[in-house]
Structure 1
Amino acid sequence: MGAEHTQGIAGRTPGIAGRTPKLVGTAWGLLVLNTLGSAGAKTIVPLPRSLIQMVTMGALVAAFALALLVNLRLRVRAGAYLFLLTLLLVPSVISSADLESGFGALFRCARLALFVATLWLLSRWWDGGLTFVRHHIRMYFAVLASVAAGAVVSPGAAMPELYGGRLVGALWPLTPPQIGQYAAVIIGLTVLLVLGRRADRTSAVAVVVPALVLLALTHTRTATIGLLVGLALAIGSLVLTSAAARRFFVRAVGCAAVAAVGFGSAVQAWFLRGQSQENFTSLTGRAKVWDALLAAPRTTSEYLFGAGLGDKSFGGLPIDNSWLAVYHEQGVTGVALVAAFIVVLGGVALLRPPSLPRACAIFLISYCAIASYTEAGLGDASPYLLHLAVAASLLAAPAATAPLSTPELPRLSTPDVPRRRVPGRPRTSEVN
């Protein structure tokens, strides 16, 4: 590998991204902390939910303050994703203003508005480079490191019977789907960085192997399918231009064929997680909640704008579907806006020429689209909106750099010196 490609996962992207202030990465990390949530398994040291909410909301306020500090001139990169995300605030506020969902709905609207405003401030550094990909990998790897530390300190608390022995966060309350999502995203992005020769293999192995172990321990089917399909689409976009991508694709297909033949029963048992066939086909009871939500009567206002931002549940049970959660809380208007920014990002990615940033964007967009079927989050401040924000930063056109202006030097006046005639040389006429 070349010298510029051996800086590890945490290395800087050459070019404009190298001039990104360090506080931008700090602000991004605080946004990640804000979206970790406050509900999950019991931790080793009991943490009051009010304390966790105070930490996460404080992180969002601090992220906005830092983003404003480094962007006092309010320079932003306009884009369809942020524009549509801002429009999503309209049905959120309209549905939450009547207080049918309580004051918590207005609080969630304020949180979403501050979240979107922070993304607008950070969009100044969205230049099509890999800067935010590296921030994303570093921050979620730190979260997974805390999960691994909790499993080492207290294996019983990290894999409780309440969750069927699946891995949870024992130091910070994280559910198995959350851990699986974070692991799948950083695995996919790191593999793509290696294929694009933007990360050395030693650093990549140090990230991918532990993340794979944690993903396997969570038994998260959605994250696994999203990882495999997202990587297949992303690598497929590089096959025609990258020999490394072609080799990896052939090897991956070969390994998948061997695994399907030799470990088919083990893979099937891992996916079933000890569930009955009926429970598996009903998506662990999610289908019953979805049917009840769709059958519930709604007023015209609720149909158009929803019932207000809530905790993504219906009848006390989690909805676990982004589209139905948006329909319930922000109505068909919210569904149309969410579909619009997914389609716009996907369309822009398809129109871009093959490149590593485009492949990373395709992976993130496809992963979010797949995960939206069994997980909520596309209509509120969540890791999924951060994943799509990274995709938008990768698809942004490089910022035009203004040419450096050279100061004009004062012209020195020189006295007129009469020209001396050389003897023997005839004079030339001024006019021919």
Structure 2
Amino acid sequence: MSDDLRHGPGTPKIIGAVWGLLILNTLGSAGAKTIVPLPRSLIQMVTMGALVAAFALALAVNLRLTVRPSAYVSLLTLILVPSVVASADLESGFGALFRCARFALFVATLWLLSRWWDGDLTFVRHHIRMYFVVLGSVAAGLVISPGAALPELYGGRLVGALWPLTPPQIGQYAAVIIGLTVLLLIGRRTDRASATFVIVPSLVLLALTHTRTATLGLFIGLALAIGSLLLTSAAARRFFTWAVVIAVVAAVGFASALQAWFLRGQTQENFSNLTGRAKVWDALLAAPRSSADMAFGTGLGDKSFGGLPIDNSWLAVYHEQGLMGVSLVAAVFLALGGVALLRPPSLQRACAIFLISYCAIASYTEAGLGDASPYLLHLALAASLLATPAAKAPAAPPELFAPAPQRRPVPRWARDREVT
């Protein structure tokens, strides 16, 4: 990219490496079978090592521990309280305490990075570049081994053949960088060639994942984000008009193909219960709980219930961090959403609205709002965009008894010229 490859003023280049390590940490260790089998212990070692390295690098460039006030990171810090309280009794095993330590290190790294959150687009560029690299590994796996990248186990949906990534993960990464790149293009912060280089292959990968949540989150999030620019941006109005026209034409001319893609060959019953998710949700809500479990949860786990994934952020937080955790996660969305609504229209505000709305939509069928995850990184990016620019240091006042500046004598010929 052109403008997108530049770093914001006053931001060390190493911050991009820290952000990339945080993304690597949140890729996870469970997923499809890869071309070269990778032991889960090795993947966990890499991801956890990435988090430790991110914290160490952030600390190295912020030795004075300078942080900016952040309601978002403060609320994440508070979410640690029910996590630790519920995990301390070891009901979920020692793994719960390990996840609490990981979450604490994740939040501490965000605190260190908050020093450079001043409302510019630096972290947006890091976000797009790093996730585009991840998608590049997915595309490479598809080219090297199409059978491994489109396995029958996942119904022919695209998975990570080099790194174990599931279709929802790939769809999420693709949708987020597509949305952010479109907004940068509308705001004239990147050129069309660079935007096309990112958007087109990402759209192809998104289509191959057949991920409905990511697709809906992309379109709804972009509609809300672009809508916030309609009164101030002619480019946003043109893009919105063309998008509506293309959507109508696609709905009329390709209705059957779109319906087939959306249903993914599922029966109406399977589609109505969200591919079996509703059964897990009903069982989780019907399970008996003590007052302590209801308030603080059962401790950080693997976001599953009865051996099946919960796939709902709110129910996962309720199960692991109780009603206190649910209240704090709700406060995160209220705080970020409220600040976004109060900000004047701008590209930064539009990007934040896109990220907040996308995470809110994805929270219905994906877990990750109560632990270190890509969704918390998306929301951290939104918080950095909504931060007010750091105030410049005022100029030093003149000394009270400073001598008056001495005027240089004017030559006689100059005085004579002034008189004439």
The residue number in structure 1 matching 2:373 is 382
Q: Confirm or deny that 1:7 pairs with 2:7.
A: no
Partner residue of 1:197 out of 188, 191, 213:
188
Distance 1:344 1:413, change over 3 A: closer
Picking from 348, 351, 356, the partner of 2:339 is 348
Q: Is 1:51 matched with 2:46?
A: no
Q: 1:283 to 1:412 in 2, by over 3 A?
A: closer
1:320 aligns with 2:308: no
Q: Which moved more, 1:177-186 or 1:18-27?
A: 18-27
Shift, 1:7, TM fit: 2.5
Greater Cα shift, 185-194 or 402-411: 402-411
Deviation per residue, 1:227-285 (Å, 9 max, x gap): 00000000000000000000000000000000000001100000000000100010000
The alignment status of 1:308 with 2:302, answered yes or no, reads no
1:11 is displaced (CA, Å) by 3.0
C-alpha displacement at 1:405, in angstroms? 4.2
User: What residue is the counterpart of 1:210 in the other structure?
Assistant: 201
Q: What TM-score, normalized by structure 1, do the two folds share?
A: 0.92
Q: Gaps (5+ residues) in structure 1? A: 1-5, 415-432
Q: Give the distance between the partners of 1:339 and 1:411, measured in 2 at CA.
A: 60
State yes or no: 1:269 paired with 2:260.
yes
Aligned length: 405
Whole-angstrom distance in 1 between the partners of 2:5 and 2:47: 25
Alpha-carbon distance in structure 2 between the residues aligned to 1:413 and 1:144? 63
Residue type of the alignment partner of 1:274 = G
The one-character-per-residue Cα deviations of 1:388-429 (angstroms, maximum 9, x if unpaired) are: 000000000100111354997985999xxxxxxxxxxxxxxx
CA deviation string 1:83-113 (max 9, x = no partner):
1110000000000000000000000000000
What is the correspondence of 1:352-431 to structure 2 with a 5 Å cutoff? 352-405=343-396, 411=403
Partner of 1:117: 108
Whole-angstrom CA distance in 1 between matches of 2:147 and 2:173 = 22
Report if aligned partners of 1:195, 1:244 keep a CA contact under 8 Å in 2: yes
SS across alignment from 1:19: coil
Q: Which amino acid aligns with 2:212?
A: R
Structure 1 residue 8, shift from structure 2 partner: 3.9
User: In the alignment, what sits opposite 1:419?
Assistant: none
Cα distance in 1 between the residues matched to 2:276 and 2:199:
32
Match of 2:176 in 1: 185
- Match status 1:31 vs 2:30: no
**How far 1:309 moved relative to its partner?**
0.2
1:131-162 residue CA offsets vs partner (Å, 9 max, x unmatched): 10000000000000000000000000000000
State the match for 1:246 in structure 2.
Answer: 237
Q: Which amino acid letter does the alignment assign opposite residue 45 of structure 2? A: M
TM-score w.r.t. length of structure 2: 0.94
The structure having more radius of gyration, on CA atoms, is: 1
Q: Aligned equivalents of 2:167 and 2:126: distance in 1?
A: 23
Q: Which residue of 1 aligns with 2:54?
A: 63
Q: 2:276 aligned with 1:285, yes or no?
A: yes
SS at match of 2:5: coil
Q: Which amino acid is 1:397 matched to?
A: T
Give yes or no for contact 1:368–1:387 (8 Å, CA) kept in 2.
yes
Question: CA 1:413–1:400 in 2, change beyond 3 Å: closer, same or farther?
Answer: closer
- Give the whole-Å Cα distance in 1 for the aligned partners of 2:86 and 2:245: 51
Residue 37 (structure 2) pairs with residue 42 (structure 1) = no
The aligned residue for residue 417 of structure 2 is: none
Once superposed, what is the RMSD of the aligned Cα atoms?
1.5
Name 1:424's counterpart in structure 2. none
Match of 2:80 in 1: 89
Q: Secondary structure at the match of 1:203?
A: helix
- 2:327 alignment counterpart: 336
Q: Deviations over 1:111-131 (max 9, x none)?
A: 000000000000000000001
For residues 284-318 of structure 1, give each alpha carbon's deviation from its aligned partner in whole angstroms, at most 9, with x where no partner exists.
00000000000000000000000000000000000
Equivalent AA in structure 2 for residue 222 of structure 1: T
- Give, in whole Å, the separation in 1 of the partners of 2:381 and 2:293: 32
Identity %: 80
1:88 is paired with a residue whose SS is helix
Query: Which of the residues 19, 40, 50 maps onto 2:10?
Result: 19
| Rounded Cα–Cα distance in structure 2 between residues aligned with 1:269 and 1:164 | 14
| Cα distance between partner residues in 1 of 2:404 and 2:377 | 58
SS at match of 1:353: coil
Deviation at 1:19, TM superposition (A): 1.9
The question of whether the paired residues in 2 share the 8 Å contact of 1:10 and 1:134 is answered with yes
CA offset at residue 79 of structure 1?
1.4
> Quick one: which amino acid aligns to residue 81 of structure 1?
Y
Q: CA deviation at 1:18?
A: 2.1
Q: Aligned equivalents of 1:410 and 1:317: distance in 2? A: 76
Distance 1:413 1:367 in 2: 60
Name stretches of at least 5 consecutive residues in structure 2 with no aligned partner.
407-420
Distance 1:112 1:413, change over 3 A: closer
Q: Take 2:171 and 2:265, find their aligned partners in 1: how far apart are those partners?
A: 18
Question: In the alignment, which residue of structure 2 is the partner of 1:103?
Answer: 94
Letter in 1 for 2:14: L
Moved over 3 A (4+): 403-414
In 1, Cα distance between the equivalents of 2:397 and 2:20? 39
Matches within 5 A, 1:215-226: 215-226=206-217
The one-letter code matched in structure 1 to 2:359 is C
Matched, 1:72 2:67: no
